[in-house]
Structure 1
Amino acid sequence: MYSIFARSGWWRLAAYHGRIAFLPLLLTGCAVYHPQPLRDHLPAMAKVERQMAVALRHDHPASAQPVNLHAPLSGEDLGEIAVLLNPSLRAMRAQIGVARAQVFAAGLLPDPQLALSADLPSNVAAGYTNAYSMGLSWSLASLFTRAANLHIARAQEQSVQYQVAWQEWMVANQTRILARQLYYLQKQEAVSQTAATTTDQLYRISVQNLRLGDATITTTSLRQIAWLDSQDRLLALRRQVTAVRQDIHKVMGLPPNMPLSLRAPRILRDIPDAARLVTLADAHRLDLLALRAGYRAQEARVRRAILGQYPGFSIGITRAADTSNIQTIGPGVHLDIPLWNRNRGVIAESEATRAQLHAAYTARLFQTRADITALVADLRRLRQEIAPLEQQVPQLQSAEQRLRGAAAEHNVTLIDYEAVRSQSLAKSLQLLALKQAYAEQQAALEMAVGLPWQQWRKQR
C-alpha cells in the first residue's frame, strides 16, 4: 500500500495543499495514560489514629495541644471523624470529580472533521491523473444545545455535591446516635454490674448460712433466682454494648479493636415547635436541595430534547480533483430532515422522567414533614415519662440502700427487701432506657431537620 501511495504522489499532494500538516501539532495536547493500581491493604492502627488526630485538630484549630484519642470524645467529634474516615463516603466524594469533569466536557466545542479520499486509476492512460477529495466540516447542531448541556451538567454537579453532603450528614448523625446509644447502654451495664455484684454477695452469704443452719432453703433459693436474673440482664446488656460498639467502628471505618471513650451527650431540654422545624427543613435539608438541583437538570434535559426536534446540520468546505485533473472547491451543508422521528421518543422519555422526579420530590417533602412531626411528638411523650422517674428513682435507690442494711441485721424480711431492690433496679434501668431513647430521638430530629439544634434559634 505504501508503494501505491508513493507512486501516486498522494502524500506529496496532501503536503502541497497543507491539509494534514497540523495533525502532529494536535498530538502534543493529548492526554497520557497513567496506571493507578488498586490497593488491597487496610491502613494500620497508627495511621488511623493520625487521621483522627488531624480531623480533631481541624475541628479545633485554636488548640495547639495534641489530641488524646483515648480520652472521652463527644458524639459530634466521632461524627466528624466518621465523615473523614468512612470508606463509603470516600468513594462517594469521587463522584464530585466525575460531575465536574462532565461540566468540563459539556462546555467543549465539537471538533472539526477532516475527510480524505483518493481515486487511483488502475490503468493509467495518457492525460489522466489521480483523483482526490478533501473536505473539512463542522457540526453546528451541538452549538444550539451547548447552553442546555452546560445547564444540565452544572445542575447535576450541584445535585451530586448536595447528595454527597447529605450522605456525610447522615453518617455523622448516625454515628452520633450510635454514640448516644452506646453511652447509655454502658450506663445500664454499670448499674446491672453493681446489681449482679450485690446479688452474688447475698447469694454466697445465704449459701454459707444454709450450710450452718442459719438460713432456710426458701431464702437461699430466692437469692439464687435474683442472682441468676441479674446475670442474665448483665450478659444481655454486654451483648448490646458489643454490637453497638462494632457498629460504631464499622460506620467510622476504624479497626474493630480500637478503644473509644465517650463523653456525656448534650441534651436539648426545650422542644421546638414542629411547624418551625418543618420550615427549616424545607430550606436547609441537603437531600431536598439535591432533588431540586436534579429537577433543574431534568428541566434542562426537556428543553434540550425539544431543541433536538429541529433540523441539525453541518457546514464545511471541500476541495477535489477528478481523473481529468479538473479541480474544484466549494462549500457543503449536511442537513438532518426531521420527517418521522423528530426526537419524539427522547422528548417523551425526558418529560416522563421530569414527572417522576416531581413526584419523588413531593414524596420526600411529605415524608420529611411527617418524620419531624412524629419525632417532636415522641420527644414530648418521652419527656413526660422521664420527669416522674427522675424524681422517684433517687428515692427508691436510697430506700434500697437502707433496706439492704436492715435486711443484713434481719430487721426486714428478705421478700420485702428483694421486692424493693428489684423495683429500684428496674426503674433505674427504665429511666436510663428512656434517656437513651430521648437522646437518640433528639439526634434523629437534628438529622431530619438538616441543621444542628444550636442553629435552630439563629435561623429566622
Structure 2
Amino acid sequence: MYSIFERSGWWRLVALHGRVVLPLCFLTGCASYHAQPLRDQLPTMAKVEQEMAAALRHDHPSSAQPVNLHAPLSGEDLGEMAVLLNPDLRAMRAQVGVAQAQVFAAGLLPDPQLALSADLPSNVAAGYTNAYSMGLSWSLASLFTRAANLHIARAQAQSVQYQVAWQEWMVANQTRILARQLYYLQEQEAVSQQAAATTDRLYRTSVQNLRLGDATITTTSLRQIAWLDSQDRMLALRRQVTAVRQNINKMMGLPPNMRLSLRAPQTQPDIPDAARLVTLADAHRLDLLALRAGYQAQEARVRRAILGQYPGFTIGVSRAADTSNIQTIGPSVSLDIPLWNRNRGVIAESEATRAQLHAAYTARLFQTRADITALVADLHRLHQEITPLERQVPQLQSAEQRLRGAAAEHNVTLIDYEAVRSQALAKSLQLLVLKEAYAEQQAALAMAVGLPWQQWGG
C-alpha cells in the first residue's frame, strides 16, 4: 500500500529537483569550509630575520642576501623592512585580495531560478489529478549593468592598490624620518654625555680643592650648577632617544626593546625647484592616483544608477498541469514599471558622492602643492642657518679645549671658561638640531612628492 506522499506525485517533483540541483552543484564546483584560527605570536629577532630573508627572496630571488639586523642600517633599509614587517600594512594588503574578489564577483552572470509547486486535491474525485508547475526563469536586469559593475570593481580595485601602495610609501618614509631623527638625537646625546663627564670631573676636582682650601665656594657652586645642567640635558636627550627607538620598532613590527644600529643619513645639498616638484607630485603621488581611480569608479556608479531607471525584466519558461490534467507550456516575462521611483534616489546619491569625491581630490591636490612649497622654503631657511654654524662651531670647540687647559692651570677665570664652554656646547647641539631638522625635512619632501629624490631628475 502506497503512502499519500507517493500517491500524490509530489515525490516526482522532489526527485526531479534532486536530479537537477545536485548535479549542477557538483558541476559548478561548490566551495567547502576550512577553519583558519587566529594566532597570537610576537616576532623575535630570529623570526624577523627569517621573514625578511623570505620576503627578499620572494621579491628579488636573484639578489637576496642574508639579513643581519645587528649590522648598521640606513634609513632606507629600515623603510624597506617596515614595508615588509609592519602589521598594519600586512592587514591592508589583504584588502587587495578583497578588491580582486569583488572584480571576480562583478563579472559573474546571475544564476537562473527554478520554481516547483504542486496542487494536491484533498478529496480525489473521478477525473481529477494532482496538479503541478515547473518554471525556469532568468533575470536580465543585471546584464544591462554588468559592464558598469565591472568598470566599478576594476576601478575600485585599482584605487585600493594605489591606497595600499601609498600607505606603504608613507610608512617607509615615516620610518626614514624617525631613523634620521634617532641618528641625530644619538649624536646630541653623545655630545651632552661628553659635556656631562667634563663638568662632573671639574666639579669633583673643585670639591676636593674646596676641602683643601684651594677653591672658593663660589667656584664650586658654579661647577655644581654646570654639572647639574649637563646631567639634565643628557637625561632629557636619552628619554627622547628611547621614545624614538620604540616608535621605530613599533613602525617596523619589531619587539619594543630591540636595538638597531644606524648609519649616518645621506642628505642632498641641492634644493630643487618647488614648481617642478609639484608637477612630479601631480603625476606620481599614489594617493592622488588612488583618488582618481576612486573617482572613475564613482563615475561608473553614476552611469549604473542612470541605467537603473530603465525597467528591468525577467524571462522564463514554465510547464504545468492542472487538476484536469491539461498540460501547458509557455514563456513568461516580468517587467518593472518605472512609475514613481525610477531609481531617482540612487541617482541623486551617486551624483552627490561624485561631487564630494571631486571636492576631496581638489582639496588633496591643493594641500599637496602647499606642503611641497612650505617644505622647500623650510629647507632654504635651514640651509641658511646651518652654513654659518658649520664654520663657527669647530672654532668654538677648539677654543673651549684650549681654555679648559688654561682653566686647569688657573690662567683664566672659571667664569670666562664656563661662558665659552656653555656657548660651545649650546652651538654644537644647535647645529645637530638643525641638521636633524634638515634631514627630516628632506625625507618629508620625498614623501610629499611621492618619489625618492634619486628620481627627481636634474
Tell me the TM-score range normalised by the shorter chain.
over 0.9
Q: Report whether the alignment pairs 1:120 with 2:113.
A: no
Tell me which amino acid in the other structure corresponds to 2:181: Q
Q: 1:329 offset after TM fit, Å?
A: 0.5
CA distance 1:420–1:281, change in 2 (3 Å): same
Residues 1:318 and 2:310 aligned together? no
Instruction: Report deviation, 1:257.
Output: 1.8
Contact 2:107 2:146 in 1 (8 A): yes
1:54–1:392 Cα change, 3 Å? farther
Measured after TM superposition, the shift of residue 61 of structure 1 is 6.3
Q: In the alignment, which residue of structure 1 is the partner of 2:101?
A: 101
| 2:20 partner amino acid | F
Q: Could you tell me which residue of structure 1 aligns to residue 281 of structure 2? A: 281
Task: Please tell me the residue identity of whatever aligns with 2:362.
Answer: T
Output the CA distance in 2 between the equivalents of 1:85 and 1:391. 42
Structure 1 equivalent of residue 22 of structure 2: 24
Q: What displacement does 1:259 show?
A: 1.7
- 1:49 maps to 49
Q: Is the 8 Å Cα contact of residues 49 and 68 (structure 2) preserved in structure 1?
A: no
- Alpha-carbon distance change, 403 to 55 in structure 1, aligned in 2, over 3 angstroms: farther
Superposed displacement of residue 39, structure 1 = 1.1
- Give the CA deviation at 1:51: 1.9
Report the residue type matching 1:88 in the other structure.
Answer: D
CA positional deviation for 1:250: 0.5
**CA distance change for structure 1 residues 290 and 183 in 2, over 3 Å: closer, same or farther?**
same
SS at match of 1:21: helix
Q: Partner of 1:394 in structure 2?
A: 394
One-letter amino acid matched to 1:258: M
The residue aligned with 1:413 is 413
Which AA in structure 1 matches 2:112? Answer: P
- The aligned amino acid for 1:35 is A
- Is residue 431 of structure 2 the alignment partner of residue 431 of structure 1? yes
Shift of 1:22: 2.6
2:260 counterpart residue number? 260
CA displacement 1:300-339 (0-9 Å, x = unmatched):
0000000000000000001111000001000000000010
Measured at CA, do residues 61 and 384 of structure 1 come closer, stay the same or move farther in structure 2, by a change above 3 Å? farther
Q: For 1:268-293, what per-residue CA distance to the aligned partner results, in whole angstroms no more than 9, with x for missing partners?
A: 11000000000000000000000000
Q: Which residue does the alignment assign to 1:171?
A: 171
Alpha-carbon distance between aligned partners in 2 of 1:76 and 1:177, rounded to the nearest angstrom: 10
- SS of equivalent to 2:19: coil
Residues 53 and 69 of structure 1 are in contact (CA less than 8 Å); yes or no, is this contact kept in structure 2? no
For the Cα contact (< 8 Å) 1:55–1:81, is it kept in 2? no
Q: Which residue of 2 aligns with 1:241?
A: 241
8 A contact 1:320–1:327 mirrored in 2 = yes
Number of aligned residue pairs: give it.
455
Task: Tell me the alpha carbon deviations over residues 167-196 of structure 1, each in whole angstroms, 9 at most, x when there is no partner.
Answer: 000000000000000000000000000000
Matches within 5 A, 1:110-259: 110-259=110-259
Contact 2:393 2:428 in 1 (8 A): yes
* Counterpart contact for 1:55–1:80, Cα < 8 Å: no
Compared with structure 1, are the counterparts of its residues 208 and 3 closer, same or farther at alpha carbon in structure 2 (3 Å cutoff)? farther
Alignment of 1:69-80 (within 5 A): 69-80=69-80
Percent sequence identity over matched residues? 88
Contact 2:186 2:241 in 1 (8 A): yes
Instruction: Say whether 1:441 aligns with 2:441.
Output: yes
Change (3 A) 1:241 1:3: farther
* Structure 1 pair 86–388 and aligned structure 2 pair: CA distance change class (3 A): same
SS of aligned partner of 2:378: helix
Could you tell me how far apart the structure 2 residues matched to 1:385 and 1:120 are? 97
Contact preservation (8 Å) 2:49, 2:67: no
Judge conservation of contact 1:315–1:332 (CA < 8 Å) in 2: yes
Aligned residue number for residue 39 of structure 1 = 39
Determine the C-alpha separation between the residues in 2 that align with 1:61 and 1:19: 53
Amino acid at match of 2:24: L
Amino acid at match of 2:44: A
Confirm whether residue 451 of structure 1 aligns to residue 454 of structure 2.
Answer: no
Gaps of 5+ in 1: none
Between the aligned partners of 1:62 and 1:26, the Cα distance in structure 2 is: 47
Q: Secondary structure at the match of 1:22?
A: helix
Please list the CA deviations of residues 186-237 of structure 1 after superposition, one character each: whole Å capped at 9, or x if unmatched: 0000000000000000000000000000001111011000000000000000
In structure 2, relative to structure 1, the CA distance for the partners of 1:349 and 1:232 (3 Å cut) is: same
Residues 44 and 323 (structure 1), Cα distance of their counterparts in 2 relative to 1, 3 Å cut: same
| Equivalent pair of 1:86/1:253 in contact (CA under 8 Å) | yes
Cα distance in 1 between the residues matched to 2:200 and 2:60: 47
Structure-2 residue corresponding to 1:269: 269
Contact 2:53–2:65 under 8 Å retained in 1: no
Counterpart-to-counterpart distance in 2, 1:65 and 1:318: 68
Letter in 1 for 2:180: R
Instruction: Specify the code of the residue in structure 1 equivalent to 2:50.
Output: R
